[in-house]
Structure 1
Amino acid sequence: MGLFDSVAGGLGQMLGGQQPQGGAGDNPMLQAVMGLMNDNGGLGGLLSKFQQGGLGDLVQSWVGTGANLPISPAQIQQVLGSGALGDLAGKLGMQPDQVAGALSQSLPQAVDAMTPNGQLPSENDLMATAQQMLGKFFG
């Protein structure tokens, strides 16, 4: 399975099996996840939050070039907290545990896709990578 297939599969899981229509503006889960990244200072800030939560080994596996270690919905809940998950759930019309489950399935793949060289990209590189991923996925 290719890189973009993995990301597309992860996003499909996040959307509850729905296929995205149109651009990112039509995809509330994608908007919510991007908002989560923005609220935490970008990709680096979000990953730092997981590291501070004691999950540095997991985060490093997502960024690195090897296999991605899994994260549980409970670990997502522990790091992000009920407030952030509740906010996301409200925006998406889902329950917080459903959002935590979707993130646990998709976040490792998304981070892996945004760090193809095994390290955090610069903000400009990250934006270019995200645009390229979205273009291929939503094209």
Structure 2
Amino acid sequence: MAKSPSLVALLGLLAVAGFQHRDKIQDALKGLSNNSGGAGQSGGLGGMLGGLGDLINGKPGSGNVLTGGLNDLLDSFRGNGQKETADSWTTVGVPTKGLTPQEVESAIGRDTLTELSQSTGLSYDELVKRLSTNIPDAVDRLTPEGRFPATDDEARRSLFG
């Protein structure tokens, strides 16, 4: 099953930097959006994320990619028998459950992860390891008080302050 571009963009963002380095990814994406030839900049990052710099910086026409990606991400885990884990990331008062690399691979799919690995320049194993760490934290941060962001602007504020 093909994954939505929104989900792939969100996964790429999480894999490349994660929340512990969100300032670095924001700077990199600003550089991409300020450079008319964004694709191909910063190695694999530019090629994979292309117009994501515009999305992160709130430029017109970027749509609701982050919020759509968040919903697709949760649906991927819920539809893969990991509903309890996915719900722990968004439910107030429930400890956030972690993921194993195998659970990430099962929910996202090997083909999508292989494509992301090639695009980011990360080894497959490193990519899956990063996502297993970053996905629960990201969803938890994007859904404060269990509330989903209504717009990408609200999601950007949750991600980047």
1:22 corresponds to 2:27: yes
- The alpha carbon displacement at 1:23 in A equals 4.5
Q: Unpaired runs of 5+ in structure 2?
A: 1-13, 32-41, 53-63
Provide the aligned C-alpha RMSD in A.
3.4
* Cross-structure match for 1:12: 20
SS of 1:84's equivalent in the other structure is helix
Larger radius of gyration: 2
* Cross-structure match for 2:84: 57
When residues 117 and 31 of structure 1 are mapped into structure 2, their CA distance, relative to the original with a 3 A threshold, is farther
Give the TM-score, by structure 2 length: 0.60
Kindly provide the amino acid, as one letter, of the partner of residue 90 in structure 2. V
* Cross-structure match for 2:105: 77
Kindly provide the amino acid, as one letter, of the partner of residue 128 in structure 1. D
SS of 2:19's equivalent in the other structure is helix
1:102 corresponds to 2:127: no
- The alpha carbon displacement at 1:135 in A equals 4.1
* Cross-structure match for 2:153: 128
* Cross-structure match for 2:71: 44
Kindly provide the amino acid, as one letter, of the partner of residue 81 in structure 2. G
Task: Indicate the structure with greater helix content.
Answer: 1
Contact persistence 1:73–1:100 (CA under 8 A): yes
Q: Unpaired runs of 5+ in structure 1?
A: 1-6
Give the TM-score, by structure 1 length: 0.69
**In structure 2, what is the Cα distance between the partners aligned to 1:21 and 1:59?**
26
**In structure 2, what is the Cα distance between the partners aligned to 1:25 and 1:84?**
25
Kindly provide the amino acid, as one letter, of the partner of residue 20 in structure 2. G
Alignment coverage as a number of residue pairs: 119
- The alpha carbon displacement at 1:128 in A equals 2.5
* Cross-structure match for 1:93: 121
- The alpha carbon displacement at 1:95 in A equals 1.6
SS of 1:63's equivalent in the other structure is coil
Contact persistence 2:142–2:159 (CA under 8 A): no
**In structure 2, what is the Cα distance between the partners aligned to 1:128 and 1:54?**
31
- The alpha carbon displacement at 1:48 in A equals 0.7
- The alpha carbon displacement at 1:57 in A equals 0.5
